[in-house]
Amino acid sequence: MTASGNARAFLSIGEVLAQLRPEFPDTTISKLRFLESEGLVEPERTPAGYRKYSSEDVARLRYVLAAQRDQYLPLRVIREHLQSMGGGVPVQNPRALVEEEALPSAGDFSRPEIDVRLSRSDLLDRTGISDAQLKQIESYGLITARGAGWYDADGLAIAEAVARMAEFGLEPRHLRGYKTAADREVGLFEQVVAPVARQRGPEAKARAEETVRELAALSLRLHTALVQARLRGPLGG
């Protein structure tokens, strides 16, 4: 292959944008640079510092953009999947990532074999929230300390989620609806499993627990589908 042929094997960032724009019209050069900074694509550089994108780079970008647009996948999930392929060209449909990685299964609601036991200061250190924020979270019933003031894995997960949402300007008072909805769902599940739970024997108890876990997983899948449908409306275009 000639030197000029080698040169044309790579695309500039502008040429990549021109290729992606017909399918992803909201894509910008800033967006491509951001995806690079997040480790989702690593174009080569010329001696002068200009980006050189290969066909594999373009395929990865197309995959990332489709996963974001169609499945609303977080970049963390997309990045982990791409890393698991060792830098290869993605061939899996992004929808499979939602089914396999992002959405919960009944097993995700099983009680962990080893739970965490964090003091108040430990929870603040792990999540990066302030004591004032934690007091707010507790005042709205999103987290409840256990025993003599320690926090378990559930409290940690809730605090981490609230901390991330705070980065977007959402305060604990904005999240009270999540707690209300969760309480209603659990109450509904209790009605479903009540006849089974009233039966005697360990098998009945195990069946009731498994039913609740399955309902919890289905509930979150339904919630995800409803949010996706709404985002494809006024916000998603």
pLDDT tens track of the chain, all 237 residues? 444 444 447 899 999 999 999 988 888 898 899 889 888 899 999 988 899 999 999 999 998 888 877 766 778 878 888 887 765 566 555 555 555 555 566 556 666 555 688 999 999 999 999 999 999 999 999 999 988 889 998 899 999 999 989 888 999 899 999 999 999 999 999 898 888 878 877 777 777 887 888 888 888 888 888 887 787 665 554
How much is the pLDDT for 97?
54
Q: Of 157, 75, 80, give the one whose Cα is nearest residue 123.
A: 157
Long-range contacts of 66-73 (CB under 8 A, 24+ apart): 66/24, 66/94, 67/94, 67/97, 69/24, 69/236, 70/94, 70/95, 71/95, 71/97, 71/98, 71/102, 71/228, 72/227, 72/228, 72/231, 73/97, 73/98, 73/102
Q: With respect to CATH, is domain 120-235 assigned 1.20.5?
A: no
CATH for 6-102? 1.10.1660.10
What is the pLDDT at residue 112?
59
- For CATH 1.10.1660.10, the residue range(s) in the chain are 6-102
- Cα–Cα distance, 46 to 34 (Å, whole number): 19
The strand ranges marked E within the chain are 44-45, 51-52
